[in-house]
Amino acid sequence: MEIFIILVSSILVNNFVLSRFLGICPFLGVSRQVETATGMGMAVTFVMAMAAFMTKLIQTHILERFEIEYMQTIAFILVIAALVQLVEMIVQKTSPTLYQSLGVYLPLITTNCAVLGLTILNINADYNLLYSVINAIAAAVGFSLAIVLFAAIRERIELFNVPEVFKGFPIALITASLMSLAFLGFAGLV
């Protein structure tokens, strides 16, 4: 039951992008096409799940054992940076097209506050290892859901006759805010 609550909470109610406002940078940057957005979602999912797993281990076995919790941010960023490097190599090898279309946003997952935010929220919520990973996957699914929906809407907006001043990012930001309002509707669920 608790797992179900974590899933619903992280995917819908406390959606990382639309409710917690974390990871806005890739949300706006890589949402021009559904295909790239899906690729970004998968890359972030992989990084988040692995990062949650490793940071939890590091937190309990290194930081807490030696009582150096104040090193949390540095240690976690180290983990995330290493993971992003790994993902970058894998993506470059397996799908050069995706690698090109993700562009600078792929290494920027390192500084994606959604990933660091998730790992720290996990520790604050005192989840055990399993729940941490489940929460990470749920959060990443929530991120992917938001970015893919947003990309689909933006693809349609491309066809519309948008007033000159609103073209590009302004209309995208308005869309994002409306999506955020819509997701507010889930607030009473959990």
Partner 1 sequence: MNLDVVVYPILSLGGLGLLFGAGLAYASKKFEVEVDERMSAIRDALPGANCGGCGFPGCDGFARAVVEGRAPVSGCPVGGSECASALGSIMGIDAGDTVKKVAKVICNGDTARCKEKFEYEGIEDCVAANMVAGGSKSCQYGCLGLGTCVRACPFDAIEIVEGRLARIIPEKCTACGKCIEVCPKTVIDMVPYHQDVVIACNNKEPGKVVRQKCSVGCIACKICVKACPYEAIDFKDNLAFINYEKCTNCFVCVEKCPTKAIEGNFERRNIDKKDAI
**Alpha carbons 11 and 116: distance in angstroms, whole number:** 17
* Inter-axis angle of helices 129-159 and 34-58, nearest 10: 160
Choose between 97 and 128: whose C-beta lies nearer to partner 1: 97
Q: Which stretch binds partner 1 (CB under 8 A): 1-9, 16-24, 62-70, 134-142?
A: 62-70
Residue 173 touches partner 1, criterion: CB under 8 A: no
Q: Check binding of 97 to partner 1 (CB under 8 A).
A: yes
Q: Is residue 168 a contact residue for partner 1 (CB under 8 A)?
A: no
Scanning residues 140 to 159, which ones bind partner 1 (CB under 8 A)? 159
Neighbour-count burial for 95-113, b at 16+ CB within 10 Å, e otherwise? eeebbebbeebbeebbebe
**Phi, psi (5° rounding) for residue 57?**
-60, -45
**Cα first-last separation, the chain:** 12
Query: Which of 8, 24, 25, 78 is the binder for partner 1 (CB under 8 A)?
Result: 78
DSSP string, 76-109: HHHHHHHHHHHHHHHHHHH-HHHHHHHGGGTGGG
Nearer to partner 1, 119 or 144 (CB): 119
Are 17 and 146 in contact by the 8 Å Cβ rule? The answer is: yes
Site residue total, partner 1 (CB under 8 A) = 24
User: Whole-number minimum distance, CB 63 to partner 1, in Å?
Assistant: 8
Q: Which residues contact 138 (CB under 8 A, 6 or more apart)?
A: 6, 7, 9, 10, 11
Q: Among 5, 68, 178, 184, which residue sits at the site for partner 1 (rule: CB under 8 A)?
A: 68
Interface pick for partner 1 out of 93, 104, 124, 164 (rule CB under 8 A): 93
Closest contact distance (angstroms) between CB of 34 and partner 1 is 16
- Minimum CB separation of residue 159 from partner 1 in Å reads 6
Name the site residues for partner 1 (rule: CB under 8 A).
58, 62-63, 66-68, 71, 74-75, 78-79, 82, 85-86, 89-90, 92-93, 96-97, 100, 159-161
